Amino acid sequence: MTATTSERLLRMGLIGGGGAGFIGRVHVTAATLDREAELVAGALSSDPLRSRTAATEFRIDPSRAYGSFSELLESESRLPESERIDFVSIATPNHTHAEIACSALDAGFHVVCDKPMTTNEQDAQAMVDAVARSGKVFALTHNYSGYPLIRQAREIVASGELGRILGVRVSYVQGWMQGVKRDETPARGAWKSNPELNGRAGSLGDVGTHAFHLLRFVTASQPHALLSRMSSYSPHHELDDYGHAILQLDQAATGLVTWSQVSHGRLNDLTIEVDGTEASLAWRQEDPNQLIVRSLGTPTRVYDRNPGAAYTTATAAAACRLPGGHPEAFFEAFANVYRDAFRAMRQVSGESAVDPSPSLYPTVHDGLEGVRFMQRCLESNDNDSSWCAW
């Protein structure tokens, strides 16, 4: 008798992620952290020889180390249902995401895709249509939404504890580009400096989309118009590496998104602050196990990541794996996106009871909004920082 998806590990196929890049290994670590999935197949490079060579580093059996994503999809589709992969994880250059994802969905596989979802709205809409056509799960790895205290922040905002939202400030700044010289190729992610592979959104696509998604995830705000100013300072490329976007949000609230990869001394500094009429909150990715809530005339409250505490919401507690005082961070947050997607995959298969709790993994529709954010920023910047309707 064939085991159902609720009784066995889900089978993962990794597309991309070989070579010097780190994100492929992050996907594998996150997907397998809770022993809900196993990596069984891969097409890890656009070069067939490098792809098969890299597969040995991931402990993929040579018989399922493929030379291209199309070979992977075709070969896996021919395997018995009890052996073939259940989903693919896409960790390739941005401009390839749409073709790979649509092909995988049409072949009957679920998809977990790295961000940004793609480089233009036409491809993004094609991906939305492919998900609807296939009925399969599509998850986008905006992994910062997986942090327990970010999920707690989302519930604090939704509860009305902050009052009406006045403004949201999200900043994602790094400094690694200051060390890259003219005519020097970065050790990893070299394609990100090539507009044909990365699209026109440089740091905007790399880290700005994470900041924008976090704004929407925590506040559930919808943009109505946007004004953006972007610059390129690093001598090794011509794409943006520093920028700001002002957003007109629901209920007359204002959003400010800042992104940079040329800020000296910054490593991976993602922060969000939400101001309301009754209180404000703040969270920082480099100190992810604390959430700060402030209200005029009352003591500042510090929420520690502690699943056993009375103040921790059920959703935040469910995102924790360790007791309070045992730090959790990047891998665990990334794994929460996978865990939520796996729950949806098992429900779609009809082999698992439908869970009434909300599904929090970023969907194809979140991906479409992220692509719109990139496009509106580019349009505004191209037009002398004029306002663009959403």
pLDDT, tens digit, 9 for 90 and up, residues 21-52 = 789 999 999 999 999 999 999 999 989 999 99
Residue among 4, 39, 9 at smallest CA distance from 24: 39
- Asked if 11 and 37 touch (Cβ cutoff 8 Å), the reply is yes
Instruction: Give yes or no for residue 2 having a pLDDT over 60.
Output: no
- pLDDT tens-place string over residues 134-144: 999 999 999 99
State pTM to two decimals. 0.95
Measured between alpha carbons, how far is 21 from 41 in angstroms, rounded to an integer? 18
Residue among 54, 76, 74 at smallest CA distance from 64: 76
Measured between alpha carbons, how far is 368 from 131 in angstroms, rounded to an integer? 12
pLDDT at 373: 98
**Residue 194 corresponds to which tokens in the numbers above?**
């090539």
Measured between alpha carbons, how far is 84 from 384 in angstroms, rounded to an integer? 51
**Residue 85 corresponds to which tokens in the numbers above?**
């992969």
pLDDT at 352: 59
**Residue 348 corresponds to which tokens in the numbers above?**
């779609």
- Asked if 263 and 241 touch (Cβ cutoff 8 Å), the reply is no
